[in-house]
Structure 1
Amino acid sequence: MRTEGSGSYRRAMPASASSSARLALAAAGVTVVLWASAFVSIRSAGDAYSPGALALGRLLAGTLVLVAVLLFRREGVPPRAAWPGIVVSGLLWFGVYMVVLNWGEREVDAGTAAMLVNIGPVLIALLGARFLGERLPPRLLAGMAVSFAGAVAVGLSMSGEGGHASVLGVVLCLLAAVAYAGGVVAQKPALAHASALQVTTYGCAIGAAACLPFAGQLVTEAARAPLAATANMVYLGVFPTALAFTTWAYALARTTAGRMGATTYAVPALVVLMAWALLGELPGAWTLAGGALCLAGVAVSRSRPRTRAAAPGATTPEEAPGRAGT
Structure 2
Amino acid sequence: MSSPRDWRLLVAVGITVLAWASAFVVIRYVGPHFSPGSLTLGRLLVGSVVLTLSMVGRRRVRLGRREWALVALIGVAWFGVYNLALNAGERHVDAGTAAMLIQVAPILIGALAGLVLAEGFPPMLVIGGLVAFAGTLVIGVASGAFGSATSTGDADVAGVLLVLLSAVVYSVAMVAQKVVLRRVPGLQVTWLACLVGTVVTLPFAGQLLHEVAAAPTRSVLGVVYLGVVPTALAFSTWAFALSRTTAGQLGVTTYAVPPIAITLGWLLLGEVPALLAMLGGVLSLVGVAIARRPSRPVALP
TM-score of the alignment, normalized to the shorter chain, above 0.5: yes
Residues 1:297 and 1:237: Cα distance change in structure 2 (over 3 Å): same
Moved more, 180-189 or 148-157: 148-157
- In the alignment, which residue of structure 2 is the partner of 1:52? 37
SS at match of 2:59: coil
The answer for unaligned runs of 5 or more in structure 1 is 3-14, 310-326
- In the alignment, which residue of structure 2 is the partner of 1:295? 285
**Cα separation, 1, equivalents of 2:199 and 2:205:** 10
Q: 1:100 aligned to 2:91? A: no
Taking the TM superposition and a 5 Å limit, the aligned residue runs for 1:9-48 are 18-48=3-33
Q: 1:165 aligned to 2:156? A: yes
Moved more, 225-234 or 280-289: 280-289
Residues 1:75 and 1:47: Cα distance change in structure 2 (over 3 Å): farther
Report the alpha carbon displacement of residue 182 of structure 1 after superposing the two structures with TM.
0.6
SS at match of 1:128: helix
Taking the TM superposition and a 5 Å limit, the aligned residue runs for 1:170-185 are 170-185=160-175
- Asked whether the equivalents of residues 99 and 261 of structure 2 are also in contact (C-alpha less than 8 Å), the reply is no
Q: CA RMSD in A?
A: 2.1
Report the alpha carbon displacement of residue 111 of structure 1 after superposing the two structures with TM.
5.4
Residues 1:28 and 1:78: Cα distance change in structure 2 (over 3 Å): farther
Residues 1:24 and 1:267: Cα distance change in structure 2 (over 3 Å): same
**Cα separation, 2, equivalents of 1:51 and 1:142:** 36
- In the alignment, which residue of structure 2 is the partner of 1:153? 138
- Look up the equivalent residue of 1:89 and give its one-letter code: I
Q: 1:82 aligned to 2:67? A: yes
Larger Cα Rg: Structure 1 or Structure 2? 1
**Cα separation, 1, equivalents of 2:168 and 2:272:** 32
- In the alignment, which residue of structure 1 is the partner of 2:205? 215
**Cα separation, 2, equivalents of 1:222 and 1:195:** 34
- In the alignment, which residue of structure 2 is the partner of 1:123? 108
**Cα separation, 2, equivalents of 1:27 and 1:47:** 32
- In the alignment, which residue of structure 1 is the partner of 2:250? 260
Report the alpha carbon displacement of residue 274 of structure 1 after superposing the two structures with TM.
2.4
**Cα separation, 2, equivalents of 1:237 and 1:78:** 26
The answer for unaligned runs of 5 or more in structure 2 is none
- Asked whether the equivalents of residues 147 and 296 of structure 1 are also in contact (C-alpha less than 8 Å), the reply is yes
The two structures have a TM-score, normalised by structure 1, of 0.83
- In the alignment, which residue of structure 2 is the partner of 1:138? 123
- In the alignment, which residue of structure 2 is the partner of 1:203? 193
Report sequence identity in percent.
48
Residues 1:289 and 1:78: Cα distance change in structure 2 (over 3 Å): farther
Report the count of equivalent residues.
Answer: 292
- In the alignment, which residue of structure 2 is the partner of 1:319? none
Report the alpha carbon displacement of residue 282 of structure 1 after superposing the two structures with TM.
5.0
- Look up the equivalent residue of 1:165 and give its one-letter code: D
**Cα separation, 2, equivalents of 1:236 and 1:284:** 27
Report the alpha carbon displacement of residue 276 of structure 1 after superposing the two structures with TM.
4.1
Residues 1:245 and 1:179: Cα distance change in structure 2 (over 3 Å): same
